[in-house]
Structures are given as C-alpha cells and as structure tokens.
Chains A and B, each alone.
Chain A
Amino acid sequence: MTPEMSPVAEAHPGRPPMDLLRFATAGSVDDGKSTLIGRLLLDSKSIFEDQLEAVEATSHSRGYDYTDLALLTDGLRSEREQGITIDVAYRYFATPTRKFIIADTPGHIQYTRNMVTGASTADLGLVLVDARQGLTEQSRRHAVLLSLLRVPHLVLAINKMDLVDWSEEIYERIHDEFRQFATKLSIPDLVVIPISALKGDNVVTRSENTPWYHGPTLMHHLEHVHVASDRDLVDARFPVQYVVRPKSDEYHDYRGYAGQVAGGVLKPGDEVVVLPSGMTSTIEAIDLFDQEIDEAFPPMSVTVRLADDVDVSRGDMIARVRNAPKPSQDIDAMVCWMTNEPLRPRQKLAIKHTTRMGRTLVKDIQYRLDVNTLHRDQETKALGLNEIGRVQLRTTVPLLCDPYSKNRTTGSFILIDEGTGVTVGAGMINSGA
C-alpha cells in the first residue's frame, strides 16, 4: 500500500483545485491525531523533501524504528520542548479536486476554547478515537462541541485498527454507541471510518484488512462531501463593513457599501431595507472590483450601491424588505467562556457582532451546560474558563441577528474584555428571545 498508488498522487496540477473544505480535528492525547494529519499531508504530497528529511532524521536520532509523522505538524519551539500542543494550528493541503484547511485543535486543558475556535469556521469535524479504548468522555465532548457550533458534517475515525486485529465487531460496537449518543445532538451527517493512521489504511488508500467495510476512505470522503448546500441562500444578509467614497473627479458621486454577503442572494433591482434605521431603497448595482455583477451570494466580498441617498454606515445591515432580522437589544445565547476570570451576572463587556461593535451587560446566566453529560446545571451563576452556558445579554446597540442555527455569520458574536482588549467569550444566538 504505497502512496504512489493512491488517487491523489497527481496532486498539484497546473490547474488550481476548484473547491475548498475547512475541517477541524479533535482527539484526546495519543489517539493519533498528529500522525493522521501527517499522513494526510504526506500522502497528498504536501510535504517537501527537506521537511520529511528533517522528520526522518529526528525519528532516527530518537531511536524510533519508523518515521514519526506526528513530527511534521509540530508547532512552536516551547511546545516542542514540552512535547505538547497548546493552541489551534492551521494546516493546508490540496488534491486536484479540493483545497483543505485543517484547524488542528489539541486535546487537553484549554480544550473547549480551542475546539470552539477551530470548529467556528469548519464545514466538517473529524473526531478520532483509539479503537482499543472506544468512545471516551472526551470523544463525546468533541461531538457535543461540534454539534453546538453547528458543524454540519462529522467523521468519526476509529484509529489504531491494526492494534485490534481489524475487528469488525469493535468497529460496529463503537459505531452503534456513537450513533446512539448522537441522536441527542444536531449532527446532520455522520460517517464512521476504521483507519490506521500509522499504516495508512483507509486514510487515502482502501485497506485490504477491512473487507467488511464498504464506506469511503477518509480522503475520498473529504474530497467529495457536499458542503455547498450548507449555506443559507434564501435570507439575504449584507453587513456593511466599509463605505467606499472615492472623492475623485472620475467617481465624484460614487458611494458604495462594501461587505461580505452573509446570506441569501442579492441582485440589482432588489428592494432592500437598511437596518437598524429601517429606511428602504433599491439595489442600483453590485460591484465586484471593476465589474458590475448580476448576483452576489455568500461568501462574496462586493460593494453594493443603492438607488436612494439613504444614510448607511459601517455596522448597518442591508436585507430584503420582507425578510429582515428584527433589531434586538435582548440577546439569548449559548456562550463559551475563554478566560480565567469567570463570567458573572452584571458584568459589562464589549461585543462584536458582524461588523457592529457595542457594549453589553450580562443580565443572567440561566444554566451551565455539562458538555460531557448534556446536563443543565441551573445552580451555577458563573461560567468558568472552558465552560459553556446559556446567557441573557442586554446590548447598548441593537444587534441585527439571526439564530445561529440559521446563519453562522449573523448568529455569532464575540465578547471582549474592555480593560484588556482580550477576546473572552464566543456566543451563538438562540432562536426566540
């Protein structure tokens, strides 16, 4: 089973890959996550000779009898010295069909914070378990977090199958147990793959050791999983980022609203409302650099011009007249807390939602969610580091938001400590107030 035989051996042709997939990896320490990522990079020919040679040399000098692929993804020196990974790292590889961005989240103390960060932009979550141990409390937590962050696709990779004699029974048992647990979560798409990251089985190349397995290899699934339909193309949402005013002779009267489409499809001629003011107008034109285009959809960055001289500034949102979010200062959200000093009622924070900055008061902490058991603890009136809870906020400015379950862009926000400027919380807005 050599990588040469693999379907991705022809990676990096002159043509760029057409598509992009962002995925987040999760696993407990020693489940083989670094080895798996190293394997994906190596077998997709994303590793250069000098990098591989360095890793081979290090493996040799440490007396290993195989090349430790985990060394390929080693991060910063201090971590290398401590032999641990402490922060989200991003890796890249490509096959002829897709480019991949991996958010590699480490598996220990700072876990929730890192995983929430990595999952926030992911289309797919990859959870690794050790076949010998089966599902652990940590694997369940990974699945809960991916579901909370509304990562639409999940892969459970059962690793180290070589150490359990490629047992179908073990695969089925872990599969069933997970499927049962997942019914309590929102996981629209689940695939369970038996692999050996170390030996490469079912990673890129189909394994001869698992004749009972008829699903895709991991790489095949990553290349073909359908993510385009995960976007909301119905509810037009355009948060205004920047007002373009050239003030030049040639473009004397030009006034455009630049931003990235967060939902729906915008077209010239659409009747729109500007929030929070509620003023209405019509889209006169949509500019993509020096071209006028017929349609704009997520995640395009465009500049919208309106037919009327309405007052629009950064932080406003352009939406359809009959399909607009209701401006609200009372926010009900799941918040992941990311700093040592706990979150408490009455606390004041800065909040950033789309392109809008404001301040907020914590009115109430309704419950703390135990991410291992899904138990709602209503006694606790504070959220500590790496804890998640349901929180009521009152903001100084109205937010133009949707439920996170409908739109991950207009449904999310960050909380910032006004004293230190540090990002201390991440919020996902619930439906209904």
Chain B
Amino acid sequence: MTAPPTHADYQLSQLDQLEAESIHIFREAAAEFEKPALMFSGGKDSIVMLRLAEKAFFPAKIPFPLVQIDTGLDFPEVLQTRDNWVSRLGARLIVASIDEAIRKGVVVDDGKTSRNRMQTATLLNCVEEEGFTAMFGGGRRDEEKARAKERVYSHRDDFGQWDPKNQRPELWSLYNGKLHGGEHMRIFPLSNWTELDIWHYLRQEGVELPSIYFAHARRVFKRDGMWMSESPQNPCREGEEVVERKVRYRTVGDLTLTGAVESDADTLDKIIDEIAIARVTERGATRGDDRFSEAAMEDRKKEGYF
C-alpha cells in the first residue's frame, strides 16, 4: 500500500484549470453537435481558441472547420497569422466575404451600417448555407457588462437571435445541447477567462500571434481620439495628419474602426505589464463600433452577432 495522496500534491494552477474547463467544452460540443464550426476572427482570443481545440483533439486534427468573415478591411498581418495556423494544424478554413454577401444581395450596404455590423448578416448567412448547428466563439464574460449573463452554450432561435430573458439554466458542467429544427448554438469555451488570463496563457504557450499586437512603428492619424492606421481602405479626412508613432493594437478587427494605442510593449512580458496597469477597458480604448452606445454590444448580440 502506498500512502494516500495528499491534496497539496494534486493542485492545478488557475490557468491549467481554465484550460481543462475549455477543453471539456470543446470536446462536449464536438461530440454532441452534428455540424460545429469555429468562428475565427484572427484576434488573440481566437488564437487561444485554436490552441485549445488543437489540444482537445490531439493527435487527431480539429474535427470541425474554421469560419472567418472577410470584411475586406482586415489587417494583412492578421490574415498571414491565420494562414500559418491553418497550415500548421491542417485545418479546414471557410472564408465568408462581406463583399460577396453584398453582391449576392444577402447583405444590404445602405451606407450607414458599419462593416462590423454587416458581419452579422454575413455570418448568419454562412451558418445557414453550410448548415452549421453550433458555432464556437471567443467571447469572454469579462468583456462587457452585457456578456456577464451569457451562457457557455448560448442558444439562438432560427433567426440567430439571442433572448437574454429566455436562457437555459446552466448547472455544473452539464451543458444542454438539445436543438430544435432551425435553432443553433453559440458556444463560448472562454467564458471564464479574463483578458489577463488570455495574455498569460499566450505567454505560457508561446504560440504565434498577429504581429500588430506588438509595438511597432506605424504611420497613423488621430480620429475620434484614437490612432488609426494609414491605409488605402481608410483614407485621411480633411484636418487629419499622418504621423509615425510606435503603436500596438489591443484588439484586431475592421481596420477602419480599430484604433492603435501608443506603446513600447514589443514582447508578451511587456504587454502583460502594460495591461496590468491599464486603466481603460480594451473595448473602451480602441473599438469604434462599440462606442456608439453603452448597450451596442447587447443590441448586436440580440441580432445574432457574437
């Protein structure tokens, strides 16, 4: 007989606990849903998602495709990282383009709606065309007040809408994957991660991230208090002046809406230090489309966006 195990020997760090929980969620959903897919945005959260999915099914390949919405306004560095990951994992990538959706008449460009908002319609159309029953998303509950009540398995009606008053109770780690015809599920394996957890995990794993997360010299101009990248898709308006600054991005998205912050953080250690003392939320700092109203996120979720 060996001595009974003591509890001190069997401790998992909180990051390992989060990882174990997320892997459990990935496996659960892969087993229960007929046709899942992973929403890949190219951002740090979806990189963590890919890493977790890689670990969950290893040595098998990820048993579902990745879906990316091509806004036509994505940072080239992000697309490069995406391609590197896809080829390393041998994963299947489906790109749904907003421009194509507009051409096909699935999405209406009325000149008022932001491209980020048009993602919603493009995504829902892709889900329908491909017949996906569950979509993994990288949303975290700490991102937004409106997300604090989101479930891990978030149930959407046949219009892809989210009804915050009609969510299923979620107990223990028993996720309810029952679907009715036409309904589908959004699945959020990172629900319990915070922004800092994401960065700590990326440092622990040492995996490739889009280079724009790290401080670099870039030609930028000020708009609405944010540094915007000079690019053909986002021309300067009158009175805006292009200067070179050392900047980095805290979130990646549509380059006409995503602002950079001035920073010297060119390594993960420095980024973590910077975030640890940051006094402004990541969305508050750099996401133009969320600043329109406090409840913008909630509205987009109700419409079916993540």
**Which positions in A face B, CB cutoff 8 Å?**
12-14, 16-20, 48-51, 54, 73-78, 86-92, 94, 98-99, 101, 104, 113-114, 116-117, 120-121, 228-229, 231, 233-234, 241-242, 244-248, 250-251, 254, 258-260, 265, 287, 289-290, 295, 297, 299-301, 303, 314, 338, 350, 352-355, 408-409, 412-414, 416, 420-423, 426
Contacts and interface: CB of A to CB of B under 8 A. Distances in A.
29 contacts: A12-B276, A16-B13, A16-B197, A19-B13, A48-B278, A48-B284, A51-B284, A87-B167, A92-B194, A99-B14, A101-B192, A117-B169, A231-B7, A241-B24, A241-B27, A242-B30, A245-B60, A247-B60, A290-B58, A301-B19, A301-B21, A301-B56, A338-B169, A352-B176, A353-B174, A354-B174, A355-B28, A422-B168, A423-B170
A77 B300 CA distance: 13
B278 A301 contact: no
Given A241-B31, A412-B172, A289 B58 contact: yes
A395 to B, nearest CB: 15
A416 B176 contact: yes
Contacts of A301: 19-21, 23-24, 27, 56
A254 B59 CA distance: 8
A12 B277 CA distance: 8
Contacts of B196: 12, 16, 94
B171 A426 contact: yes
Interface string B37-62: 00000000000000000111111110
Given A121-B172, A265-B10, A75 B148 contact: yes
Given A422-B168, A423-B168, A14 B14 contact: no
A92 B168 CA distance: 22
Contact of A89 (B19, B148, B194): B148
Given A16-B14, A290-B58, A414 B276 contact: no
Interface residues of B, number: 72
Contacts of B298: 76-77
A264 B104 CA distance: 56
Given A17-B14, A20-B17, A301-B27, A228 B7 contact: yes
A241 B24 CA distance: 8
B142 to A, nearest CB: 5
Interface in B134-158: 141-142, 145-146, 148-149
Interface string B53-76: 011111111000000000000000
B146 A421 contact: no
Given A18-B13, A49-B279, A54-B294, A416 B178 contact: yes
